[in-house]
Amino acid sequence: MNRNGNTRKRPPPTPQPPHPSPAAKHQAITPTVDEEFLDEDVFLEETLIAEDEQNLSEERQGLTSHLSKWARPKLSDGYVSQSQSIIFQQLEIDYIIGESHKELSPDRSGPAAILRIFGVTREGHSVCCFVHGFEPYFYISCPPGMGPDDISHFHQILERRMREANRNNKVPKFVQRIELVHKRSIMYYQQQQSHPFLKIVVALPTMVSGCRGILDKGIQIDGLGMKSFMTYESNILYALRFMIDCNIVGGNWIEVPAGKYKRTSKHLSHCQLEFDCLYPLLQNISNFE
């Protein structure tokens, strides 16, 4: 308030622009420096990527040229039409677990062991042969006085025990069948030519050990009481069992006659010839030139 009694406010001071601090100046300059370095890095990376792609392309061309020298010959019309027998030298045998073949094994359902024979023909064609129908088995001594009815009842008891021990397995039938056969053990001196044995055929190779364990511990049989069994040939590998029974040795030649094999609906390997067949149809060729 002045002397005359008038009230008047002073005008506000004119705002001054803030002076940039040294740190602010440094921050304003920094992005420009980073952008320069970033551009150089990007340019360098693009150059290296282009060089790597060029080197990779040259390596691929060289590899393709090298592999073309080892390319398999083209299949003949006889193999394509399945009118020609397949003769090949087997190089490796293993097995897988798959579904039973509906055409080759119509009486079988559920999972089954399928043998795979890898080899090569004389013309140089690669082969993958899926063999069906060969079942894992082993032997036990047949108790004296055991007749066909007793064997059938024994089969039911063993099947029930196997199902109890494999509750999570969805195999329709664990013990496929039990046959009475006459064999001769090579253990100890024996005057008799042969003895009765029970041939126990199971669904999968992995079930041989489980079934053997049940028989070793003992099983209750009506009329015979608690009975334990000694097993024979229960430790032979499944693929080796197949080779022994079919008289197949390492590196020998095998023939599958024309019309006795079926081409697989879906390729499961990189072999040129991939087909399914039953194991009794395999013909072992001892002398092939």
CB 265 within 8 A of CB 244: no
Query: Which of 194, 203, 214 lies closest to 141 in space, CA to CA?
Result: 194
pLDDT higher than threshold 90 for residue 197:
yes
Q: How many Å apart are CA 47 and CA 59, to the nearest integer?
A: 19
Share of the chain above pLDDT 90, in %: 45
CATH topology assigned to domain 137-238:
Alpha-Beta Plaits (3.30.70)
Domain extent listing, the chain: 22-71, 77-130+251-285, 137-238
pLDDT of the residue at 202 = 96
Structure confidence at residue 254 as a pLDDT band (50, 70, 90): very high
Beta-bridged to residue 87, according to DSSP, are 255
Radius of gyration of the chain (CA): 39
Overall residue count recorded for the chain in this entry: 289
Multiple choice CATH, 77-130+251-285, 3.40.50.1100, 1.10.3720.10, 1.10.645.10, 2.40.50.730: 2.40.50.730
pTM of the model: 0.72
The one-character DSSP state at 263 is E
Structure confidence at residue 282 as a pLDDT band (50, 70, 90): very high
Pairing of strands 126-132, 86-99: unpaired
3-state secondary structure of 58: helix
Report the first-to-last Cα separation within the chain, whole angstroms. 130
